Amino acid sequence: MRILNIFKRVPDTYAEINLNSDFSDINKDGLSYVIDPYGEYGMETALRMKDNNSSIELNVLTIGPENSTELLRNALALGFDNSYLIKYDNYDKLSPLVLSKLYLSFIQKFGPFDIIFVPKVDIDTNFSSICGYLAGFLNMNFLTNISSAYLDGEFIIIERETDIGKEKIRMRLPVILSHDKAPYEIRLANLKGIMASKKKPIHIINIDELNVSLENHIKRGKLKLPPQRASVKFLSSVDELIKVLKEEIKI
Amino acid sequence: MKCIVYFETLLGEIREFSLSALEFSKLFCDEIYGFIVNSDKAKNYVKKLYVLETKNEFSRTIAQEIYKIVKSEDIKYIFFASTNKGKEIFSFLAGISNGLILEDVEGYENGYFIKAIYSNKVYAQYQVEFNGLKIIGVKPKSYKLAEPINSNTEIVEIKLDNANNEFEILEIKQKDNKEVDVTEADIVVSGGRGLSSAENYHKLLRELIEVLKEKTGLKVALGASQAVVDAGWIDHSHQVGQTGKTVSPLIYFAFGISGATQHIAGMRTSKYIIAVNKDEEAPIFKVADYGIVGDVNKIIPELIEKLKKVL
Ligand SMILES: Cc1cc2nc3c(=O)[nH]c(=O)nc-3n(C[C@H](O)[C@H](O)[C@H](O)COP(=O)(O)OP(=O)(O)OC[C@H]3O[C@@H](n4cnc5c(N)ncnc54)[C@H](O)[C@@H]3O)c2cc1C
Ligand SMILES: Nc1ncnc2c1ncn2[C@@H]1O[C@H](COP(=O)(O)O)[C@@H](O)[C@H]1O
């Protein structure tokens, strides 16, 4: 059994985001980058599968500049067996269609995989279509926004939250899944894992090797910060709050 | 221009968000066809309505059926409400049709689609240059609702007997449908670690919600910070923020919530933000319109008592 986890390299979620002077991009000075939180949840679910069956091969893929290897090294320290970087500096400007085609080309070269996990949304670009695109290209079973999953023979049992409530679904492998927040905590690497990671492979793939046109059909133009909210008015009593509710907000 | 608008249903009713998508589609289309599954509730909104009748409402099946219409009718645009269900159907349709999907769109200005990025910390403009099928997801609550039109709607039924051994729903735990979802509410009453315990959180906030509902007639929902979801006080479906839901109600109450950037990412577009926190330096006050520095254990009961008397 082979599993592939795809994550996105994103600015630390604690960071304030500012724009550069011509509003063409965010100001990246001093930003630190992390594995996106939904990618992390997907990785945790895959690691749990391997906890129960050590013969599973765990692969992890991301796209980004050369120093993204630091993040891949973290994944290897957690227990992933192989890691891959599609090297491309301007990765955060690629449209989801181009990104999906790059991942597709990777899967065709290095696959097949029985399970592919992707983040439910790339939190930098706020696009959430990678899972559907890949499932459509590969004509594969898929499900989005899953909370957890475990294996059951040729099947996978998945739980997720929907607008109706909670669903439990059984699907036949292979599948591609987009991961939402999980109900369990994410593990941290231990010393043994960190030592072991030093001997594990990080394969660097030049973007040209994937033979995908990088022409974006969705071109991002100028950026803008949300309007500044007016500064807070402190109220000194509940009576004043009631007055605000009645007279200003008028509920 | 011929377009399809997808009408999403929830428990047999059309989701209001689909009517925003319909209104938005009118900027681009003069011939609008509806598509709906197992319902004819949308028939007052379009001249022609495709109704898919099926026992298995799989996203994949729905996408494949819509794709057949796209091909036979030469459809150029599809519009849908950018819900999880909508995104699931239409990202797959984008894959099988080699189409382009742009979801969570909040507006259209001077030829640019507007969408929030970096967890709602930034807005971006997008220009679409694409000859194939374009699929646009309209973010809930970002556009006004379409009005019904009076027309003799032509209904086209598609009956499908799709057995499936690839995919089986084992269980659905339906949530209490009297409980309003945070994304649909006019008022969200949220609590964080400052509520000190699960009992206190439920007792104080639910009582306040009941009074607000009764006095205003508005839809009021219970929200939470990640800290209290992780502590097991309440289900993740109530979490607001980066790894929870994005809300933009008329009023967002933040009780005992510090206002971490990941929380603010999910509620900063609320019309009015009212925060109560014992720490006047708490970052929540940077986004709040009104603030009370004080103890939630005193303020919330007093607010409940006084609301009962007035409004
Ligand atoms: C990747 C990532 C994603 C995240 N996603 C989310 C998310 O989606 N949503 C989210 O909420 N968080 C999220 N977080 C967590 C976030 O960073 C904060 O840890 C969290 O929001 C804190 O919750 P809180 O405000 O309830 O608790 P705290 O930060 O502990 O704040 C409690 C507040 O209550 C006040 N208080 C205490 N007692 C009282 C009292 N008696 N009366 C009045 N006030 C009182 C305190 O002054 C304090 O400000 C995320 C974090 C990461 C790393
Ligand atoms: N250049 C832009 N880039 C991104 N979003 C924009 C731009 N101009 C306007 N908007 C959008 O329009 C809304 C209203 O903008 P304003 O009229 O400046 O208050 C903002 O919240 C954005 O959604």
According to DSSP, the residues that pair with B112 across neighbouring strands are B109
pLDDT of residue B311: 66
Residue carrying structure tokens 């499932």: A135
B261 touches chain A (CB under 8 A): yes
Residue B8's pLDDT band, with cuts at 50, 70 and 90, is: very high
Eight-class DSSP state of A229: P
Percent of chain A surpassing pLDDT 90:
96
B89-111 pLDDT, tens digit each: 999 999 999 999 999 999 999 99
Chain A residues within an 8 Å CB radius of B87: 128-129, 132, 144
Residue whose CA is at the smallest distance from ligand 1 atom 22? B227
ipTM of the complex in this document: 0.90
Tell me the two tokens of residue B187. 């008022």
Torsions phi, psi of A30, nearest 5?
75, 0
Mark which residues 101-130 of B lie under 8 Å from A by CB: 101-104, 112, 115-130
Mean local confidence (pLDDT), B257-270 = 96
A6: closest CA of chain B, how far (Å): 17
A32 part of contact set with chain B, CB < 8 Å:
no
First to last CA, chain A: 58
Is residue B298 pLDDT above 90, yes or no? yes
Q: What is the DSSP string of B190-246?
A: EE-GGG-SHHHHHHHHHHHHHHHHHHH---EEEEE-HHHHHTTSS-GGGBBSTTSB-
Based on the number of CB atoms within 10 Å of its own CB, is A19 exposed (0-12), middle (13-18) or buried (19 or more)? middle
B130-183 pLDDT, tens digit per residue, is 999 999 999 988 899 999 987 789 999 999 887 777 788 899 998 887 889 999
Choice among A162-166, A238-242, B69-73 with the minimum mean pLDDT: A162-166
- Is B119 within 8 Å of A126 when comparing Cβ atoms? yes
Q: Which residues of A touch B262 (CB under 8 A)?
A: 13-14
Coil, helix or strand at residue A57: strand
Q: Do B119 and A171 make contact, defined as CB atoms within 8 angstroms?
A: no
Residue B174 bridge partners (DSSP): A165
- Supply the DSSP symbol for A247: I
> What are the tens digits of pLDDT across the range A96-153?
999 999 999 999 999 999 999 999 999 999 999 999 999 999 999 999 999 999 999 9
SS3 category, B264: helix
Write down the mean pLDDT value for chain B. Answer: 94
Measured between CB atoms, does A195 come within 8 Å of chain B? no
Residue ID of nearest Cα to ligand 2 atom 21: A226
**What pLDDT was estimated at residue B40?**
87
- For the Cβ of B104 lying below 6 angstroms from any atom of ligand 2, the answer is no
The region, left, alpha or beta by phi > 0 then psi within -120 to 50, assigned to residue B174 is: beta
Picking from A128, A165, A239, the nearest residue to B87 by CB comes out as A128
CA distance A52 to chain B (A): 23
Instruction: Please indicate, yes or no, whether the overall pTM of this predicted structure exceeds 0.90.
Output: yes
